[in-house]
Structure 1
């Protein structure tokens, strides 16, 4: 038995490189399917229907600025729900409202507990070293994609690719709904929701 194992060293070699190659192929195919997920007609119609339902249940704000902000937040929440929590940016959008409320509560507590600072010394801001151009661009991209400020570059690029594809679908959906409202003789959002199932002109 010992001689057979020595004579055939290939049988005892580590098969991990083959597994790594298989995992790499699977991850690439998964990334490709995630990108295509936002570009299918069925996904776009499902998102449009959910967006209409969300907009129908919104309260009507007084100002136009508040109205556009509420519509944008609703569209982003529906988009994040469509991602089903598979991405970091979608989870960040879903938890952003709770985070803002907690931040407001924390700020109130800090203001109430903050002592007088009449004799406190003013600290000079620390001088920051200039970062390389690529690193600065990565930081800017991390600020643009929700919840991706401190990601490594490969993970950040994956999140950004998925987020851009989702935003493209969002723009198509909102353009489609705007066309339904304008072309339908001033119909309501509920009328647009009824027409989504029968209308097949949503493909780009």
Structure 2
């Protein structure tokens, strides 16, 4: 079991200037790589690729210490391994009776929704889910700060690829 000081350090890790600088530099590298590798006509796919690259860099910055960072790092591997197949519907679905829905308590429903929002935390106990969610939120806040600084930098310089330098927050 973790002590209170370790929990504070865990969430505070994303707020340090050094961590912000490291993440910003790696984010710029990843976005530059995405821009070089994608064709200009694939703007929709490039947007998704940028988002995935930003998430992967964020997970790598977490160094696999948290469940959500491990889930993000392994999610790309899983997508490559399993191809989606369309399921053919057999039988007549209209003959079935509609399922009776059981109302869950509001707190349990919200915990389930939170578990879906944090990668890799669907079947986690409530205290562990709160700890993971706290760390994930702090990491996302750092990601927003880095992307905002990068957007401001690019808006001010004309957004040429040679001007992509890590923002100094």
The aligned counterpart of 1:17 is none
- RMSD between aligned residues: 2.3
What is the Cα deviation at residue 100 of structure 1?
2.4
Is 2:69 the counterpart of 1:90?
yes
5+ long unaligned stretches in structure 1? 1-22
Note the C-alpha offset of 1:183: 1.8
| Alignment CA distance shift 1:119-1:55 (3 Å) | closer
| Structure 2 counterpart of 1:175, from 143, 148, 156 | 148
Q: Distance in 1 between matches of 2:77 and 2:49?
A: 15
Q: Deviations over 1:91-129 (max 9, x none)?
A: 111111222233425x36xx5xx7x83578854453231
> Deviation of residue 86 (structure 1)?
0.6
The alignment status of 1:29 with 2:5, answered yes or no, reads yes
For residues 128-163 of structure 1, the C-alpha deviation after alignment (integer angstroms, 9 at most, x for no partner) is 310001001101111111111111110000000000
1:129-140 to structure 2, matched below 5 A, reads 129-140=102-113
Tell me the matched-pair count.
Answer: 166
Pair 1:192-2:168 in alignment: no
Aligned counterparts, 1:1-80, within 5 A: 27-58=3-34, 59-61=37-39, 62-80=41-59
Paired residue for 1:151? Answer: 124
What is residue 3 of structure 1 aligned with on the other side?
none
- Distance in 2 (CA, whole Å) between partners of 1:185 and 1:48 is 19
Query: If the length of structure 1 is used for normalisation, what is the TM-score?
Result: 0.72
1:29-68 deviation per Cα after TM superposition (whole angstroms, max 9, x unaligned):
1111111110111101100100111111112242332221
Change (3 A) 1:68 1:32: same
**Runs of 4+ that moved beyond 6 A:** none
Inter-partner Cα distance in structure 2 for 1:153 and 1:119: 40
> Which shifted more, 75-84 or 62-71?
62-71
Distance in 2, Cα, partners of 1:65 & 1:154: 38
Provide TM-score, normalisation by structure 2. 0.86
1:164 aligns with 2:164: no
